[in-house]
């Protein structure tokens, strides 16, 4: 982890990005947001830290939102060099963002946005949240920056009065299109050749595509372009991902078992960029049941603590509980089990300090409902 990073109210980055993730589902040209209550981040946050300085020092606050800097009761604007005098200095930064995540990045030799800041939503005050994905002032925590690789098709063949592209692997990303014809084209996606060739019923399809069209991020291996000739169109895939280090190694003298392991690790890799999601193709939502399975396997593969934390925070949302996680009582319990597993995996007391009050409220929410269910069973 870098020494300096963007700060926000703890959990808010995961909650905000989790909300966006749960709006990603698309089915046969129809958007399909998740069907449960979804929280978003706090819109107004106060960051505070006290410094006792031996000498004068300067710092600069970059922000995502509107606000100001307060030093010992005096106000200063954002985005300019601000000076603190020797002695005790109470630095408070007020940030409001009506459309996204309020966040700050403080650059300075002494006063900077490292560990030690407190964040308040004007109800509760906790250690400020951060993520190792965001360590530079030019970044925006409202935007996930994926790394990309170009994937060329391994096969390009004429079929069913069109052209079928096989990229040879699962791609989670978009397409670059080059056409040599004046008319627009149709893109039919598939995880199998059969699905891509089904122009009417394929899960993902985009019509009226030309060189100016915006191509949405989708998951696929095959792309079929109907009603074109072999040389009319060229398609390149752009796979998006967040790098993870695979800390595991598994090998036997049985090549089939080795292949099963490798496919399993790649599947987990594809389904765990920012969060553990149920799959890259279909609903792409964050489910507590799927997340626990990924959580258990993560410790034997990537050992990525941050994906665990983001997923647990996103699933739970803000403090007030309005319904079971994903509307399923079992998933509320699996979420709590996931916290235990994460602690046993990492011994991360700082994360436990943030998540424990949310877990306590979830347990308090569960107990009376269990009593009602037991009474129904007994009588």
pLDDT mean over 317-339: 94
Residue 102 CA to chain centroid, in angstroms?
17
What is the per-residue pLDDT across 18-61, written as a single tens digit (0 to 9) for each? 999 999 999 988 899 999 999 999 999 999 999 999 999 999 99
**1 pLDDT more than 50:** no
Q: How many whole angstroms separate alpha carbon 256 and alpha carbon 291?
A: 27
Mean pLDDT score across all residues of the chain:
94
User: What angle (nearest 5°) sits at the alpha carbon of residue 146, between those of residues 26 and 35?
Assistant: 30
What residues form DSSP beta bridges with 119? 47, 126
Tokens of 230: 């072999």
- In sequence order, the 6+-apart residues with CB closer than 8 A to the CB of 379 are none
8 A C-beta contact, residue 347 and residue 341: no
**377 pLDDT more than 60:** no
Among 57, 56, 90, 63, residue whose Cα is nearest residue 77: 63
- The residue behind tokens 């993870």 is 244
pLDDT band with cut points at 50, 70 and 90 for residue 372: low
pTM comes to: 0.92
DSSP 326: G
User: What pLDDT is attached to residue 379?
Assistant: 60
Q: How many whole angstroms separate alpha carbon 90 and alpha carbon 53?
A: 11
User: What pLDDT is attached to residue 368?
Assistant: 85
| Higher-confidence position of 104 and 353 | 104
**70 pLDDT more than 60:** yes
8 A C-beta contact, residue 223 and residue 169: no
What is the per-residue pLDDT across 268-322, written as a single tens digit (0 to 9) for each? 999 999 999 999 998 999 999 999 999 999 999 999 999 999 999 999 999 999 9
DSSP 146: -
- In sequence order, the 6+-apart residues with CB closer than 8 A to the CB of 197 are 159, 160, 164, 188, 190, 224
User: What pLDDT is attached to residue 29?
Assistant: 83
Residue 29 CA to chain centroid, in angstroms?
23
pLDDT band with cut points at 50, 70 and 90 for residue 15: very high
What is the per-residue pLDDT across 192-206, written as a single tens digit (0 to 9) for each? 999 999 999 999 999
What is the per-residue pLDDT across 128-150, written as a single tens digit (0 to 9) for each? 999 999 999 999 999 999 999 99
pLDDT band with cut points at 50, 70 and 90 for residue 212: confident
pLDDT mean over 150-169: 97
Cα dihedral: 99, 100, 102, 106 (round 10): -120
Give the residue ranges of DSSP H helices in 183-322. Answer: 193-197, 255-270, 288-298, 305-316
pLDDT mean over 60-67: 97
User: What pLDDT is attached to residue 104?
Assistant: 98
**359 pLDDT more than 60:** yes
Cα dihedral: 161, 162, 166, 167 (round 10): 180
**221 pLDDT more than 80:** yes
**362 pLDDT more than 60:** yes
- In sequence order, the 6+-apart residues with CB closer than 8 A to the CB of 266 are 170
User: What pLDDT is attached to residue 313?
Assistant: 98
pLDDT band with cut points at 50, 70 and 90 for residue 371: low
**2 pLDDT more than 60:** no
Q: How far is CA 77 from CA 71, 80, 375, in A?
A: 11, 7, 60
């Amino acid at each position: 982890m870098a020494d300096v990073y963007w700060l926000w109210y703890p959990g808010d980055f995961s909650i905000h990005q989790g909300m966006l993730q749960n709006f990603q589902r698309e089915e046969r040209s129809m958007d399909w947001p998740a069907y449960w209550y979804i929280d978003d981040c706090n819109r107004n946050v106060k960051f505070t830290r006290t410094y006792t300085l031996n000498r004068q020092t300067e710092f600069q606050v970059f922000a995502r939102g509107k606000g100001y800097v307060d030093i010992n009761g005096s106000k200063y604007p954002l985005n300019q060099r601000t000076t603190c005098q020797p002695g005790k200095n109470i630095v408070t930064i007020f940030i409001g963002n009506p459309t996204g995540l309020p966040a700050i990045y403080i650059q300075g030799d002494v006063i900077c946005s490292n560990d030690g800041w407190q964040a308040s939503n004007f109800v509760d005050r906790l250690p400020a949240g951060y993520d190792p994905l965001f360590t530079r002032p030019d970044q925006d925590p409202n935007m996930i920056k994926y790394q990309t690789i170009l994937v060329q098709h391994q096969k390009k063949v004429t079929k069913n009065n069109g052209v079928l592209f096989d990229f040879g692997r699962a791609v989670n990303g978009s397409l670059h299109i080059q056409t040599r014809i004046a008319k627009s084209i149709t893109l039919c996606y598939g995880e199998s050749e059969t699905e891509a060739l089904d122009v009417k019923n394929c899960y993902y399809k985009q019509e009226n595509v030309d060189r100016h069209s915006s191509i949405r991020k989708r998951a696929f291996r095959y792309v079929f372009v109907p009603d074109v000739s072999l040389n009319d169109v060229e398609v390149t895939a752009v796979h998006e991902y967040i790098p993870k280090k695979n800390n595991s190694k598994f090998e036997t003298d049985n090549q089939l078992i080795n292949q099963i392991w490798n496919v399993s690790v790649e599947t987990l890799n594809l389904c765990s960029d920012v969060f553990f999601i149920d799959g890259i193709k279909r609903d792409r939502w964050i489910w507590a049941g799927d997340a626990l399975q990924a959580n258990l396997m993560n410790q034997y593969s990537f050992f990525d603590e941050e994906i665990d934390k983001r997923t647990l925070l996103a699933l739970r949302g803000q403090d007030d509980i309005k319904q079971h996680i994903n509307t399923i009582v079992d998933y509320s319990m699996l979420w709590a089990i996931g916290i235990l597993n994460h602690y046993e995996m990492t011994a991360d007391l700082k994360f436990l300090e943030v998540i424990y009050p949310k877990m306590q409220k979830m347990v308090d929410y569960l107990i009376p409902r269990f009593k009602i269910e037991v009474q129904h069973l007994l009588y």
